[in-house]
Structure 1
Amino acid sequence: MADDTVVVWDEALLTYDMGDHPLDPVRVELTMALARELGVLDRPGVRLVKPEPADDALLTRVHDPAYLDAVRAAPRDPLFAGFGLGTSDNPVFDGMHEASALIAGATVAAAEAVWRGEARRAVNVAGGLHHAMPARAAGFCVYNDPAVAIARLLDLGAQRIAYVDVDVHHGDGVQEIFYRDPRVLTISLHETPLALFPGTGFPDETGGPGAEGTAVNVPLPPGVGDAGWQRAFHAVVPSVLRAFRPQVLVTQCGADGHRSDPLADLRLSVDGQRATYRTLRALADELCDGRWIATGGGGYALV
């Protein structure tokens, strides 16, 4: 019998470490420690899987080969510049390619486990690096693990994949990569781009030629709390997913919409975020026979 949930985990995922930086790997370490303390990982039907790094064939499904070369070369060159690397958002660090490829491989492992029926749900809490572009690092993200996993699902035969992003920032990298692919629906709820990075995610971004209507953006003003968020979510997400009829649901569950997060201005509570995740699970059960791949993302309030 398939496991209910696969948790893809290895301590080596903590090596995605930019030093003195908001995206501190301790957020992932504490998440796993709390899960162990609460007995979540010991529940029946939960299985831990150790990931392997994504190889170049997987990474180049969404990233340019020259960009991979740059990510490998940058730590060896103190004067390296370009490709979005070496900035305050994306500082260069030792082992950058290896750590980034492992995160991508972990999300791919989660996707493969679900698609092949080995689990109904799978999670990579270290993933969710949704800002990375095909040839550029951005927003703390080097390789776009959700996009790599979606590309892998397409290669395995999926025809309708829904990606729902509830991070406080617009899921711009995933949207950009699949903007012209009608097989992938991207939905993002986020703080308005008028007030927050990355400055995209307006309602009129609806999909490219041949894929019109497959990008859905719900920007919210600063100060929105649980009630406003839930109203927006339920007004849009369930009906759009039901119309699209996805075979599998992929989500980016960044916690940085929390009211204590210092880098953004939404006012969600832990209970409000939990309600969103419970709804996503119910939608996956209703529409995808439970097939749900979840990734982590930003979140600094509790670190």
Structure 2
Amino acid sequence: MTRVGITFNKNHHLHDSLLNGYPSPENPQRIRNILGYLEDSGLIDGEIFSFYDASPATIRDILRVHTKEYVELIKTCTRDSRQSPGKDVYVCPSSFDVALQALGCILKAGELVTTQECKHAYAIIRPPGHHAGPDSCNGFCLFNNSGILARYLLEVKGLERIAIVNIDAHASDGTYAAFEADPRVLCISMHQDQKSLYPFKGFIKDIGVRPALGYCINMEMPTESGNPEYSLFYDEIAEKVLDKFNPQLVILECGFDAYHKEPLAQLNLTVDGYYRLIFKLASKWNVVTLLEGGYHDDLGLLASVVLRALAGIENIRDEVDQIDLLASRHAKTRKEFNNNLSLLKTRLEPYWGPWGHI
């Protein structure tokens, strides 16, 4: 039996833009929707899936990725609601404590997997993290959740090779900034074409810097890309590089904004698309999944898909007619995708090729 551990920060509702007097799509209702759906579905049985409590992380944990000056900036902003530490980032008086609890849940998820208590884990936490770099933040993020977990596993648990895979619609620019020169960490991000979407970073040409050239991989997915394109990229590049790198653990930055109903992006992943990607990852490697973006009404549905894929149990029925979905999109999508895939293969050939022999 494949055991999957689940953590969530119970104080997440104290990080809420409405406390500052304005709405934001990144709000407490996101986790409420997920937990409500999971409870109603009856999926959490205490055998395959179980919830685990976690203690807050420490400042020392944060400083493995972020600078002291940046941590002090976050603290200062929490004391003055008129200040924001970055673009599209809000903080409240309790935001720092919420972030520490979220990071504690993430570290607990990593502990569950590295101690083999669970094969995989899912940290359902907020705020998200992948736009937070060592000394800056943007896009709803405060601290780099996946980066802090990766450094903890490297420096405290003694792991030597970790992969971070991003399937959020937005490029994982904060994670890139943290690990662009660290060959212990392989970063693979598949995200919407950055000419058309925030943060306007994470291009195919961006492959890291010495001594980690080739260890940061950015695949620009053309608008309207969906299940077929994600599957091709995973099979032809991502899985082959992962096989050669042979990570001891995979951290999945799992945003739900690549979903076809997402209002803030233009991608077309469906239930089956998410299930296939995560199932294939979990079939080969231990995976710690972290909630990132996603601002639509199906977050609970997709969270259940993540859990099913991690556990290797049957997926729920996909209600999307793939023929209709493919017929309705722009004809240039596949052509642009094939060009990007070919360009990325050429770019990575010196580091991971030849592709036919990996």
Say yes or no: TM over 0.5.
Answer: yes
The number of equivalent residue pairs is 292
Question: Which residue does 1:281 correspond to in 2?
Answer: 282
CA contact under 8 A between 1:101 and 1:143: conserved in structure 2? no
Equivalent residues in 2 for 1:241-252, closer than 5 Å = 241-252=242-253
Aligned-pair distance for 1:45?
3.5
Segments ≥4 residues shifted beyond 4 Å: none
Aligned-pair distance for 1:10?
4.0
Spell out, residue by residue over 1:214-252, the C-alpha distance to the aligned partner (whole angstroms, 9 max, x if none): 111111111112222222222211101001011111101
Provide the rounded CA distance (Å) in 2 between the counterparts of 1:208 and 1:40: 44
The structure that has the greater radius of gyration is 2
Which structure 2 segments of 5+ residues have no match? 299-358
Code of the aligned partner of 1:160:
R
RMSD value over aligned CA atoms? 1.7
Equivalent residues in 2 for 1:3-14, closer than 5 Å = 4-14=3-13
Aligned-pair distance for 1:256?
0.3
Question: Which residue does 2:217 correspond to in 1?
Answer: 216
Spell out, residue by residue over 1:17-70, the C-alpha distance to the aligned partner (whole angstroms, 9 max, x if none): 233101122121111121122222215133211122211110111111121112
Spell out, residue by residue over 1:56-110, the C-alpha distance to the aligned partner (whole angstroms, 9 max, x if none): 11011111112111211213225536x42xx4x1123221111112111211111
Code of the aligned partner of 2:101:
L
Normalising by structure 1, we get a TM-score of 0.91
Provide the rounded CA distance (Å) in 2 between the counterparts of 1:64 and 1:79: 23
> Is the partner of 1:11 in helix, strand or coil?
coil
> Is the partner of 1:130 in helix, strand or coil?
coil
CA contact under 8 A between 1:3 and 1:119: conserved in structure 2? yes
Aligned-pair distance for 1:165?
0.6
Question: Which residue does 1:125 correspond to in 2?
Answer: 124
Q: Does 1:234 align with 2:229?
A: no
Q: Does 1:147 align with 2:144?
A: no
Q: 2:83 aligns with which of 80, 85, 96?
A: 80
Code of the aligned partner of 1:56:
I
Provide the rounded CA distance (Å) in 1 between the counterparts of 2:62 and 2:210: 25
CA contact under 8 A between 2:252 and 2:290: conserved in structure 1? yes
Q: Does 1:134 align with 2:149?
A: no
Question: Which residue does 1:48 correspond to in 2?
Answer: 51
Aligned-pair distance for 1:200?
1.2
Q: Does 1:60 align with 2:63?
A: yes
Provide the rounded CA distance (Å) in 2 between the counterparts of 1:217 and 1:298: 18
CA contact under 8 A between 2:38 and 2:44: conserved in structure 1? yes
Question: Which residue does 2:160 correspond to in 1?
Answer: 159
Code of the aligned partner of 1:294:
T
In structure 2, do the counterparts of structure 1 residues 71 and 234 end up closer, same or farther at CA, with 3 Å as the change threshold?
same
CA contact under 8 A between 2:227 and 2:269: conserved in structure 1? yes
Which structure 1 segments of 5+ residues have no match? 285-290
Q: 2:297 aligns with which of 283, 298, 302?
A: 302
Provide the rounded CA distance (Å) in 1 between the counterparts of 2:90 and 2:249: 34
Provide the rounded CA distance (Å) in 2 between the counterparts of 1:97 and 1:301: 26
Code of the aligned partner of 1:152:
Y
Question: Which residue does 1:292 correspond to in 2?
Answer: 287
Question: Which residue does 2:196 correspond to in 1?
Answer: 195
% of aligned pairs identical?
Answer: 28
> Is the partner of 1:213 in helix, strand or coil?
coil
Code of the aligned partner of 2:178:
I
In structure 2, do the counterparts of structure 1 residues 8 and 185 end up closer, same or farther at CA, with 3 Å as the change threshold?
same
> Is the partner of 2:17 in helix, strand or coil?
coil
Equivalent residues in 2 for 1:171-182, closer than 5 Å = 171-182=172-183
Q: Which structure carries more helix by proportion?
A: 2
Question: Which residue does 2:15 correspond to in 1?
Answer: 16
Code of the aligned partner of 2:97:
E
In structure 2, do the counterparts of structure 1 residues 135 and 115 end up closer, same or farther at CA, with 3 Å as the change threshold?
same
CA contact under 8 A between 1:108 and 1:145: conserved in structure 2? no
Code of the aligned partner of 2:11:
A
CA contact under 8 A between 2:207 and 2:217: conserved in structure 1? yes
> Is the partner of 1:124 in helix, strand or coil?
strand
> Is the partner of 2:119 in helix, strand or coil?
strand
In structure 2, do the counterparts of structure 1 residues 243 and 292 end up closer, same or farther at CA, with 3 Å as the change threshold?
same
CA contact under 8 A between 1:259 and 1:267: conserved in structure 2? yes
In structure 2, do the counterparts of structure 1 residues 74 and 187 end up closer, same or farther at CA, with 3 Å as the change threshold?
same
Question: Which residue does 1:288 correspond to in 2?
Answer: none
In structure 2, do the counterparts of structure 1 residues 3 and 15 end up closer, same or farther at CA, with 3 Å as the change threshold?
farther
Aligned-pair distance for 1:9?
2.4
